[in-house]
Chain A
Amino acid sequence: MNRLSFGWTLPAYSVLLYAFLYLPIVVIVLFAFDAKAIPGLPIDAFTTDWFSASLGDTRLVGSLLTSIRLALMAAVLSTALAMPAAMVLAWRPVRMKSLVLCLVLGPVVLPQLVLGLGLVVLFRAAPDLIGAPAIVLAHTTMTSSYATLMLYSRFLGFRRSYIEAAMNLGADEFTTFREVVLPLVAPSLIAVLLLAFTDAFGEFVVAWFLAGFTETLPIAIWTSLRQVISPKIYALSALVILVTLFVSVSAQVWILGQSRRECES
């Protein structure tokens, strides 16, 4: 610890900032219990009716299930694309590596709006794909960038001697992968899957452009935000937010613990 101490100001400020970050979340969860039809302060009566109402709303639940299904596909696809590529990038000499990295990371900095519109133009050539397939393809493009980046850094930190030891003892490339690489990177792989799922699940702009008649949860919420908002939306959002927080926090804590263990060994 250094002597440059700010007394109580730094912790106090940090508490305020965390409050700012979690205020909207608290408000949504709070209003999900508000008995009034149009939520607002003060909250006089609490109810859990909105939760059952939202889960009974077939359209809303349908969009939730659509989102889960599509995000699951995008997460699996992007991880499947990212993992072999990250391994090659981290472990093998690759010609024009910086070009490949630019290609892989481009979707991160590209405004989603522009990617979405570009895909709209592209899918004019294949109008049958508009809807669920186009959304999965687009989300895979976006999440595979993050996935590749995260797995790339994991594989960079992977001890090469584990692989050499396995091969030296008679394991071929595929056996080495199955017996040594996969079990050791499995936690990172799961974390990447979870984060890719979360990202694809919540993405709105690109999905909206390519949706056709498909309705994901963010699209359903967007549509309802343009009308009078039913508290059902807040109830469902509250549920989704809590699950999202749980998933993303546990995925990241997992990665953190993993890297810490790697440092110790």
Chain B
Amino acid sequence: MSAAHDIPRRRPLLRAALPAAGLLPLVLWQIVFFVVPVALIFGVSVWRTQSYRLIPAFTFDNYIAIFARPAIWRALLLSVETAAFVTVACAVLAFPVAYFIAKKAGRWRGLLLVAVIAPFWISIVMRVAAWRLLLGERGVINQVAMTLGLTDAPMSFLLYSPVSTAIGLIYAYLPLYVLPLYAAISNIHDNWIEAALDLNASPARTFFEVILPLSAPGLVVGAVFCFVFGLGEFVTPALLGGGKQLMFSQVIQDEFQRRLDWPSGAAMAVVLLVLVFAALALSMKWIRRASGETGL
């Protein structure tokens, strides 16, 4: 016998089963704890409640009912507006920093990038608690502004308003926007920018005709994350937004946990999911078209 056969043989069946065995636990897990819960939300949204008890049914009454309540319309509109505003604000705020890190930071770029993302890992509850210290009537910002004589009375609109919610959300999702923008901008070759400038394009035209279109993929990916997360975010509006102007997520939580009307809350959750899905689908379509055009 030659040396090869000193090495023990393993059954080929086991070898063939390995890939499935590796993937199966995660897939099963995600089906039970992700697909099923989402399916349950869809299911419950067409059920009925009767004196706080769930009754299986198939009715669209919950959907009709929620759209008949103007308060819910207002909350939905406020959520979409806030998410859209936060998305635009994040894009504008993140772009120069992403550009700086990608093109000007040299060997510091790795550390600067990590430093942008690091606050994202701090518990959202703690970050929001910090903003309460900053934005309150007796908070840091008002104290400083009054000491500097910028304002006589504390600015009360800073906390418990859509403004504070927006600030909290921008703070929360800014890191998420820098990341894809950085990736897109670092893919722009300096030569292309050089070429535009050599062809006597002004810096402004170079920006609008070279840099901005080429960073579009990063802008879109960042926008999707910002918008989708901003739309469904609960902690920030609940702690910073106050109780007067409710966001959609607050209404859903209220419906579920305080009013215990699960079918109605589930129907609202489905509306939220549809919006999220629409945003994702739109961006996917755009990305697919854009990558088709450039042939990448």
Q: How far is the CB of A222 from chain B (nearest CB, A)?
A: 5
Asked if B290 is at the interface of the complex by the 8 Å CB criterion, the answer is no
Note all chain A residues with C-beta closer than 8 A to B81: none
A142 to B101, CA, bound (A): 30
Are B138 and A40 in touch, CB under 8 angstroms?
yes
CA gap between A61 and B139 in the complex, in Å: 27
Q: In the complex, what distance in Å separates the CA atom of A180 from the CA atom of B140?
A: 54
- Shortest C-beta distance, A141 to chain B (Å), equals 4
- Contact present for A27 and B133 (CB under 8 Å): yes
Q: Give the residues in chain A near B140, CB-CB below 8 Å.
A: 27, 40-41
**A119 touching B33 in the complex, CB below 8 Å, given contacts A110-B38, A225-B132:** yes
Cβ-based interface call for B232 (8 A): yes
A127 lies within 8 A of chain B by Cβ? no
Contacts of A115 in B (CB 8 A): 34, 37-38
CA gap between A23 and B19 in the complex, in Å: 48
Given A22-B119, A27-B130, A115-B37 in contact, is the A103-B276 Cβ separation under 8 Å? no
Q: Say yes or no: is B190 at the interface (Cβ < 8 Å to chain A).
A: yes
Chain B residues within an 8 Å CB radius of A42: 143
Chain A residues within an 8 Å CB radius of B38: 106, 110, 114-115, 118
A170 within 8 A of B: yes
In the complex, which residue of chain A has the Cβ closest to the Cβ of B193?
Answer: A2
Cα of A4 to Cα of B198 in the assembled complex, Å: 11
Q: Which of A35-56 contact B (CB under 8 A)?
A: 39-42
- Taking A113-B252, A245-B118 as contacts, is the C-beta distance between A11 and B104 under 8 angstroms? yes
- Residue in chain A with minimal CB distance to B38: A118
A200-243 contacts to B, CB under 8 A, are 201-205, 209, 217-218, 221-222, 225, 229, 233-234, 237, 240-241
The B interface is mostly helix, strand or loop, or mixed, namely helix
Return B167 CB to nearest CB of chain A, in Å.
10
Known contacts: A114-B273, A204-B124. The answer to whether A107 contacts B30 by CB under 8 A is yes
A182 part of interface (Cβ distance < 8 Å) = no
The answer to whether residues A225 and B125 also contact, given A21-B174, A111-B232, A172-B10 and a CB cut-off of 8 A, is yes
| Measured CA separation A106–B36 after assembly (Å) | 12
Residues of A within 8 A of B29 (CB): 81, 140-141, 144
The answer to whether B118 touches A117, judged by C-beta atoms less than 8 angstroms apart, is no
Name which residue of chain B comes closest to A11, CB basis.
B100
Contacts of B209 in A (CB 8 A): none
Among B7, B125, B253, the residue within 8 A (CB) of A113 is B253
- Tell whether B1 is near chain A: CB-to-CB under 8 Å: no
- A216 CB to closest chain B CB (Å) equals 10
State whether the Cβ of A66 lies closer than 8 Å to any Cβ in chain B.
Answer: no
Residues of B with C-beta under 8 A to A202: 121-126
A120 within 8 A of B: yes
Q: Does A264 contact B (CB under 8 A)?
A: no
With a CB–CB cut-off of 8 A, which chain A residues contact B138?
40
B256 at the interface (CB under 8 A from A): yes
CB pair A24–B171 under 8 Å, yes or no, is: yes
- Residues on A with beta carbons closer than 8 Å to the beta carbon of B84: none
Using A2-B103, A109-B276, A221-B126 as known contacts, say yes or no to A170 and B121 having CB atoms under 8 A apart. Answer: no
Known: A24-B171, A100-B23, A141-B29. Is A4-B197 also a contact (CB below 8 A)?
yes
Q: In this complex, what residue of A is CB-closest to B30?
A: A103
Tell me which residues across on chain B come within 8 A of A256, comparing CB atoms.
Answer: 110, 114
Inter-chain contacts of B40 with A (CB < 8 A)? 118, 121-122
A174's nearest neighbour on chain B, judged by CB, is B10
* B235 adjacent to A205 (CB under 8 Å): yes
Nearest CB in chain A: distance from B109 CB, A: 10
**Residues in A whose Cβ lies below 8 Å from that of B127:** 24
Instruction: Tell me whether B117 and A252 are in contact (CB under 8 A).
Output: yes
A40 to B139, CA, bound (A): 7
Contact B111 A253 (CB under 8 A): yes
Q: Which of chain A's residues has its CB closest to B32's CB?
A: A122
Q: Assess whether A261 is interfacial by the CB under 8 Å rule.
A: no
**Can you identify 9 A-B contacts, CB atoms within 8 angstroms?**
A21-B174, A23-B134, A40-B139, A100-B23, A202-B124, A202-B126, A205-B235, A218-B124, A248-B118
The 10 closest A-B pairs by CB, nearest first: A111-B232, A118-B37, A202-B123, A24-B130, A84-B22, A248-B121, A85-B26, A88-B22, A41-B143, A141-B33
Binding site for A on B (CB under 8 A): 7, 10, 15, 18-19, 21-23, 25-27, 29-31, 33-38, 40-41, 44, 93, 96-97, 99-101, 103-104, 110-112, 114-119, 121-134, 138-140, 143-144, 147, 171, 174-175, 190, 193-194, 197, 203, 206-207, 211, 225, 228-229, 231-235, 239, 249, 252-253, 256-257, 262, 265-266, 269, 272-273, 276, 280
